Chain A
Amino acid sequence: MKVRSQVSMVFHLDKCIGCHTCSIACKNIWTDREGAEYMWWNNVETKPGVGFPTQWEDQEKYHGGWELNDKPKNPELKLKLQNRLQTFGNLFSNPAMPTMDDYYEPWTYKYGDLFNSPLGDDQPTARPISRIDGKPIDIEAGPNWDDDLGGSNIYAVNDPLLATMSAEEKQRLFSIEQLFYFYMPRICNHCLNAACGAACPSGAIYKRAEDGVVLINQDKCRGWRMCVSACPYKKTYYNWSTGKSEKCILCYPRLESGQAPACFHSCVGRIRYLGVLLYDADQIEDALKVPDEQLVERQREMILDPHDPKVVAAAKESGIPDGVITAAQNSPVYRYVKEWELALPLHPEYRTLPMLFYVPPLLPVLNATGANGTQRVETDLFSSLENARVPVRYMSRTLAAGKDELVIKSYQKMIAVRIYKRAETVGDVTKEEADAALAKAGMTAEEAEAIYHLTSLPNYGERFVVPPYSREGDIEEVYDPQQRKAEMGFGKRQGPQRGL
């Protein structure tokens, strides 16, 4: 057993209000620079929808992630993008490279015109201009262009996940009375089998052994752009100005000083949880060489119980400090992912072993009963699961490689918690009904109570259990943050200057 620690994340989708505060917090700190304007290391998309960049889930187009050959006897993983030799053939022009059109062209406005226009009969306007060549542009896309299903007949219908659904199911998805949508905030998943790193010809992308944060060494990156194609989540971005690729750094300078990453810290819905997971690195390969339906379970198996004395001993042997083990024992992520099995990884079938997990949103399921507002909690809540075939299938395609049971199990627990608390606080549900609900979901009252607490009432310290850290570089002292903001924020004082 080779134990490693990973700072992992859970996003509780029921709580996300789609406010984009997280995106702005990140942008203000890290990507407010030339060449990075179009990057959203944290973005929030409306689902169903095309996402950002457009249709990122369509791996036939972008060739992201890993593929398993179809020999069950001799399973082998390979990058969907290309093998090692092909990499050299494609070095000069990457055939699966998303271009700016797949994201959007960053723009600003000619504010000066508001002041400097000559006197005339018309109100002066500030025209939008491209932030690349300064030419006037028609704004045709942005990072959340189909927010709240805006223009869903143009955008949401192009959601790659819908391609496999029947016409009738699609119809149900978009019929106004049953309209369901939810927000999906996305950051880099800091994968265990990162496709970005495997595809990098220069070997510039690495995982920090201490906390599992995946970083691009800016000094070693040569701008070959293979990571951009290979990441199935499209979470590495090419900086068109500096000629380097960049990605979410999980705010490691903040982690190193005991704070949660900026998007976590600022989250208005308090949907985000951060904590250490201990996992067995020896299992990585085997856990991926299984059929799609088994992927989530195998990933859960890899994640070790930090309370188990055997695991603790093995962790110590693998060089994991006591403080990190304690942090793992208090990790809210461990509870959501492994103990309660509520949270699921995003598109496990890409086989990168993403370490960001999502609690599926219950709202679309409840909505699907069509009897909004008049449900009898104890009866209708459960039957809503049966009626919610479409949202459940959509969710299982997103979070469980198509395995409905996993999503249903998670929903059953959440519904049971609601019924249980309803019985306790409102009283229009009997204790027997509540117990029956718990039994159906296979959980105890204590577990329901704990889920309720961590979902609804957690304080800062319960949501974010940052392990003890030593700093990678002593960078901040005597350094003006305003000056730093204009620089690259990768632990380097030198600005991200384009080379000659």
Chain B
Amino acid sequence: MLEIMLFVVFPYVALAIGIVGTIYRYLTNQYSFTSLSSQFLENDLQFWGSTLWHYGILPTTFIHLGGFFLPKLMFIMHSTPETLYLAELAGKVLGIMALVGAGIMLYRRLTVSKIREITTPVDWIILSLLFGQVFFGLVLAFVYRWGATWFLHTATPWIDSLATFQPAPQYVTALPLAHKVHFLTGFLLFALMPFSRLVHIATFPLSYLWRRFQLVIWTRRKASS
């Protein structure tokens, strides 16, 4: 029963809260969508913390998503020992980058008084969870090696089963505790998105790649038409 709660109900609820909550917040309070950057108040630690974090976590996230939704691609990558070794190495390096980045960000918030002043309780929760999440991810990577392989036979079918609405928690219930914590924290973070600064992910400014440089807007015509 607990397993159904944790590995079927909770993921669905978390996803629903994350998606509906973020859309609701966007519709009702777009003003609050911002990265809440604090670079203005402190630049040096911010550079190392934020850069390492983002450059580590973004590829890591995409690799995870690839593992869920493009298992074919993953299979190809794992077809030879060399590529497998490379994938393992890349995962670890990126993970360590993210961990060090999150560590610096935590340290910065704790020690720089101006930054501490503008840190909200939610910020603390999110940052600690992210740090913990990456930490557990690295534990998995180092203790249970060749995760790139077992991932495809546990997490992937589980996520797949959730995505196709035929939940099959048995793929993951037998895994050790560290795995379960990592999975659940992942969904928890998703659920916390609308209640935290994480919403800035949802407004990643991709359209800057193609939009016109100068925007000239007729307020009157817009208002009347």
Contact = CB atoms under 8 A, between A and B. Distances in A.
A and B found bound together: yes
Interface string B105-124: 00000000110111010100
Nearest to A35: B118
Contacts of B116: 133
A97 B214 CA distance: 22
B149 interface: no
Interface string B142-167: 00000000000000000000000000
Main SS class of interface, B: helix
B205 interface: yes
Nearest to A494: B31
Contact of B32 (A133, A193, A210, A500): A500
Contacts of B205: 91, 201-203, 222, 224
A92 B113 CA distance: 21
Nearest to A205: B215
Interface in A229-272: 238, 240-244
A164 B118 CA distance: 42
Interface string A120-159: 0000000000101111000000000000000000000000
B216 A206 contact: yes
Contact of B208 (A87, A94, A193, A238): A87
B50 A242 contact: no
Interface in A456-500: 470, 472, 492, 494, 496-500
A186 interface: no
B120 A500 contact: yes
B46 interface: yes
A136 B36 CA distance: 25
Given A100-B40, A222-B200, A494-B31, A203 B207 contact: yes
A93 B219 contact: no
B213 interface: yes
Contact of B46 (A93, A135, A499): A93
A85 B206 CA distance: 10
A294 interface: no
Contact of B50 (A92, A135, A205, A243): A92
Nearest to B121: A500
B198 to A, nearest CB: 9
Interface in A173-226: 193-194, 197-198, 200-203, 205-210, 218-225
A209 B221 CA distance: 10
B197 A500 contact: yes
Interface in B169-224: 195-197, 199-200, 203, 205, 207-209, 211, 213-221, 223
Contact of A92 (B38, B51, B199, B213): B51
B32 A132 contact: no
Contacts of B53: 92
A210 B222 CA distance: 12
B12 interface: no
Given A193-B214, A203-B215, A209-B216, A223 B37 contact: yes
A84 interface: yes
B22 to A, nearest CB: 12
Contact of B33 (A97, A206, A222, A225): A222
B171 to A, nearest CB: 34
B213 A197 contact: yes
Contact of A222 (B35, B39, B54, B207): B35
Contact of A94 (B30, B39, B207, B215): B39
B197 A499 contact: yes
Nearest to B120: A500
A144 B210 CA distance: 40
Interface residues of A, number: 55
Interface residues of B, number: 50
A4 B217 CA distance: 12
A93 to B, nearest CB: 5
A99 interface: yes
A469 to B, nearest CB: 9
B197 A210 contact: no
B9 interface: no
Given A209-B217, A222-B203, A500 B41 contact: no
Contacts of B36: 223, 243, 498-499
Nearest to A203: B211
Contacts of B225: none
Nearest to A223: B34
B40 A240 contact: yes
Given A203-B207, A207-B216, A99 B40 contact: yes
Nearest to B55: A92
A100 B43 CA distance: 10
Contacts of B118: 132, 240-241, 498
Given A198-B214, A202-B208, A243 B35 contact: yes
B47 interface: yes
B29 to A, nearest CB: 8
A220 B30 contact: yes
Contacts of B34: 221-223, 242-244, 499
Given A194-B214, A203-B207, A218 B31 contact: yes
Contact of A93 (B50, B117, B199): B50
A169 to B, nearest CB: 35
Given A206-B216, A206-B217, A209-B216, A133 B39 contact: no
A179 B207 CA distance: 52
Interface of B: 29-43, 46-47, 50-51, 53-55, 113-114, 116-118, 120, 122, 195-197, 199-200, 203, 205, 207-209, 211, 213-221, 223
> Considering the complex of A and B, which 5 residue pairs feature the smallest CB-CB distances, nearest first?
A499-B32, A201-B205, A243-B34, A243-B36, A198-B213
Given A100-B41, A207-B214, 4 more contacts: A100-B40, A499-B29, A499-B31, A499-B36
22 contacts: A88-B208, A93-B51, A95-B47, A132-B117, A132-B118, A133-B114, A202-B205, A206-B217, A207-B215, A209-B218, A222-B203, A222-B205, A223-B35, A223-B36, A225-B37, A225-B40, A238-B40, A240-B38, A242-B34, A243-B35, A494-B31, A499-B32
